[in-house]
Chain A
């Protein structure tokens, strides 16, 4: 196959436009991207499959983008020029806001895509602000104008008031029918600045995504700022100082196409011959070891886990398989951390660190789906800074690490949360946020019937079913985004749950003192129902240190015998016994109390819910 002109190396930067699409889930970003691939001819209609760019199964099923993708599109604009457009698809979730920021940093423009029937959502707004901070040119677009429920006038007003433009400047497209898509591409050419860089300087390219491929090792997706990267030079990762052979350099349109080099303004991929994404991290700068740049591009930081949870195989024999699976996932996920952990209740597992709850859920889902594991996760925990009276300080990511000595101060991580909702739900949402120790930071009317609330909230309060509560209180109309915002002093305590006086590690939780009682009552009540009666009475207690704050009793069992003989059907009787014994094998013994694993699972899963902001 001979290379099409737009795949040739050494493109003129003035003919390049780099842009991303900022959109809420379901607002049609992937459909629009697919349509762009179609009208520019890089994907023939017959090869089209829905959501071409989203490659992971989970992404396609959930309609979200986890890993960034990019694609090079040739476009003859209405001025007659042959342009090269790079569409950089950004991850669409708060947990990945750092990745989002790197994707935005690779662009000069952003298409703000809003569903003409729904209006802007919190996550979109958060990313929009990020794009504005990054000095991107914003091109506002209303999608799905073919829908009967579309209200383009109303939402054009809303967008105009947010970004300060004229409502008439808001383009209208339908990703579904293709209407308005060529006009949008022309607008991108007109409005988005061409990339500017030093073509003769030392090469500097920013990694905006990094993925592991079993055949090629790590593939990095990069935007070249200065100079030229070629396969002739070894590449050098500026954060680690390590150099690697440059195995391949190319562009994606939409399949990878080796070009041998990438120059100023171009977006493409570099294969640096490494086996682990932590050796080629998102945000790092690639230069060449032959002529290294002096200064790295700004904005690099190490990913820091915000949420921790224990992951345990339900079948203990799957522990080695879980370890292997985590090893493999980490090759592709620089933000995932894990270390072995043992629980009396759950057996052997791993304490894992995640960027947020969705990250946790995605990792867990991939472990279950791609590695055939069945897992249970403990209640998620944020990172606390605990200062002792003797002045020593420790970081607590697990209730079991909560210190026993005299605590002077506890600092908890805070977030700045942004909530968008119809005005009628303001009361309900404010009540929810106050119940979660939120402090109102501002309230703005986006339009006559939509409000933006800003709250300072403890992260620990958001990871406990906050999103589900928000959705149920607003009939699904509220959206939420948040970003880390320092820490605050908090009156936090560890609540332990005891069975017959023995602490059940899996149920210990760090909670605000005022919530300790309700946590204690809800767990003891739940466990009383879940744990089968034993030969003896079993007290279930909730305690802060040595102080009991709640108590339930499981009465001793008095009768379990089956009286009947079923006309000599001894087989049935024996099978019943075998079933009981099988069930007993799956019991964990806490002290003398036998607890079926299902009880742990039920107690843990109903408590955490599936709090996934941005979904």
Chain B
């Protein structure tokens, strides 16, 4: 037993009744003050019309411990729910109310559904419990993590694998319309834009990036030529021509007037690093849009997904 602990025990034993009561009362006061602080943050989170105030409240609530030694609250939301409220509120501030914020019937727990998708698909945040923190936007039926968000570090990372699995394999290929899928995608992309424009988040749109300068990195840095051959053959069967790339080692295909997909070895240092780019005059088409709209490109991508999969940020999507 250390000296310190001995000391404390002696103190407790020698406390007067008055002292005990004072200690209890202080504990309660602190607990209630903590609760007050919580409700003030909740007020901010659900009522404020100021972006930074909203983000500040969400940041604090995402890590808030409501219970204390003297005061516990039987009805509580989970930390993940504050991310969800934040997302809904931010979208609502921009008149975008696509995801419907629902609550479980018998408990304090929230989830998103999209009216464009069936109710089978529900979305929640999953808080990362390790030291990195942050949370994944998680579809509960498929277990896909669509993006990662970190409110303090102000970063957002989209995940190509999850988008491909959920929106293409589970939805598009099972008959969900492109319009419905696009409605959901548009909302998620808009969320990224709001975070970037309103708060200066560092956002990686990954497979959803419409910027012509976006270079989608392939999982196989050193792409097997036979995979390009496959695209060449299938493109010809669909009346498209895969052309020899103008700038050296690679190929390009024009899918409609001015919409060009480039596949090339982007190798400034001699080490192979194959990338895809999507070029269109209006800069409104992403690689994911190409996959949604051009069946033969999608089939080629999915058939060779081990090599072609677009890499997401390896720090958060292993």
Partners in one complex: no
Residues of A within 8 A of B (CB): none
